[in-house]
Amino acid sequence: MTFFRQRSLLAAIAVVVALVGALALPGAASAHTGFDSSVPADGDAIDQPVDAVTISFTGPATPTDDGFAALDGDGTVRSPSAVETDDQEVYVLRFDPPLSGGDVGVRWRVLAPDGHA
């Protein structure tokens, strides 16, 4: 094989590898779902009872295992009395009775469409 043929073959292989990598990476990265925002927002000081918490994800999320739980200002772990979503990206967690004010934390366990938690 001549030098120019080898060089052309190597260049063609490099282009194919680059194209395969470029096409594969965005699909894999877009399959993951992460936390986007919440209301009340992370770090907000809440001085009154909270009857609803809204959590937004970066993509579709399906609750799994325990789904959602909250730690209220009194240190009690609570499950929401209702969980609502229209698009599986924004969830409204309702609490009856409301969570006590103070430091409130919310934990979630969800699956992305690709099955990753």
Query: Distance between CA 38 and CA 117 in Å, rounded?
Result: 19
pLDDT per position in the chain (117 positions), as tens?
554 444 444 444 544 444 444 444 444 445 578 999 999 998 887 889 999 999 999 999 999 988 999 998 888 999 999 999 999 999 999 999 999 888 888 999 999 887 766
Cis peptide upstream of residue 60 (ω within 30 degrees of 0) = no
Determine the pLDDT at residue 2: 52
pLDDT value of position 94: 98
Q: What is the pLDDT of residue 19?
A: 40
Whether the Cβ atoms of residue 112 and residue 60 lie closer than 8 Å to each other: yes
* β partners of residue 99: 50
* pTM score over 0.75: no
